[in-house]
């Protein structure tokens, strides 16, 4: 169980053509490239692409990823549909909500509220409130206070349902 960086970061452009159809194009950037340098290169590349394609670039993202190629086993009965919803306040008074898939029942009170006194949950809440690189709101304002939390269930999508839901061919009428 160890996270390894991918060899490259991905620069992705979203484009729109003359019919309104959307497409994407992707370029690989060596992982060691600083984000500032990658963004500068992307700024140069955009007009060059628009010149040769005639499409308009409407969005751009640069993604640096790392993956665990040998993750441990999840808890057998863990389900991402079961979410722990944590709400915080920013320094500007805005509410920020985080949704944690597969929340363990030990972190949920009988009422359905999040048990913020449970040790691991208290550590997480304090970690989110800490001034640090991760966890600000969508405007970049720091998170300063815990507001509350609860458990909620999300409907399963078709892709989440088990194969066993399909009828056994042996019992189908001929």
Partner 1 sequence: MSWVAQQPHIIWTLRDGSSSLGMIKGYLPHGATVAAAMSGAAARRSLLVPVTGCVFVRESIIYSSIESAPAAPAPNANVLRAGVLMFATAAPGQLGAVALPGLLPGLLALEGCAAGLDIDTAHPDVMALVAHLLTGAYSNPFGHELTAVIAGYMQERQ
Which residues, 6+ apart, have CB-to-CB distance to 64 below 8 Å? Answer: 5, 6, 9, 31, 35
- Least gap, CB of 173 to partner 1 (angstroms): 30
- Least gap, CB of 128 to partner 1 (angstroms): 8
Phi, then psi, of 170 in degrees rounded to 5: -65, -25
Nearer to partner 1, 73 or 172 (CB): 73
- Least gap, CB of 28 to partner 1 (angstroms): 5
Nearer to partner 1, 89 or 136 (CB): 136
Q: Pick from 51, 70, 50: which is nearest to 1 by CA? A: 70
- Least gap, CB of 171 to partner 1 (angstroms): 24
- Least gap, CB of 54 to partner 1 (angstroms): 3
Q: Does 8 bind partner 1 (CB under 8 A)?
A: yes
Q: Which of residues 49-108 bind partner 1 (CB under 8 A)?
A: 49, 51-68, 71-81, 84, 98-104, 107
Please give the Cα distance from 31 to 67 (Å, whole number). 13
What is the Cα 51 distance to its own chain's centre?
Answer: 33
User: Which DSSP symbol is given to 142?
Assistant: B
Q: Pick from 66, 64, 67: which is nearest to 28 by CA? A: 64
Q: Which of residues 31-50 bind partner 1 (CB under 8 A)?
A: 31, 33-39, 41, 43-45, 48-49
Q: Which of 110, 117, 139, 155 contacts partner 1 by CB under 8 A?
A: 139
Nearer to partner 1, 52 or 172 (CB): 52
Nearer to partner 1, 69 or 174 (CB): 69
Please give the Cα distance from 43 to 108 (Å, whole number). 47
CB 26 within 8 A of CB 10: yes
């Amino acid at each position: 169980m160890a996270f390894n960086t991918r060899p490259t970061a991905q620069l992705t452009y979203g484009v729109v053509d003359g019919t309104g159809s959307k497409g994407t194009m992707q370029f690989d950037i060596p992982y060691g490239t600083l984000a500032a340098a990658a963004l500068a290169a992307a700024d140069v590349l955009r007009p060059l692409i628009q010149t040769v394609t005639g499409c308009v670039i409407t969005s751009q993202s640069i993604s640096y990823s790392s993956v665990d190629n040998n993750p441990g086993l999840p808890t057998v009965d863990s389900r991402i549909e079961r979410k722990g919803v944590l709400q915080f306040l920013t320094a500007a008074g805005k509410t920020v909500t985080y949704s944690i898939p597969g929340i363990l029942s030990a972190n949920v009170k009988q009422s359905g509220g999040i048990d913020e006194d449970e040790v691991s949950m208290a550590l997480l809440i304090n970690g989110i409130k800490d001034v640090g690189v991760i966890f600000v709101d969508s405007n970049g304002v720091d998170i300063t206070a815990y507001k509350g939390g609860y458990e909620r269930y999300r409907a399963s999508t078709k892709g989440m349902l088990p194969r066993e839901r399909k009828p056994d061919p042996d019992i189908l009428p001929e």
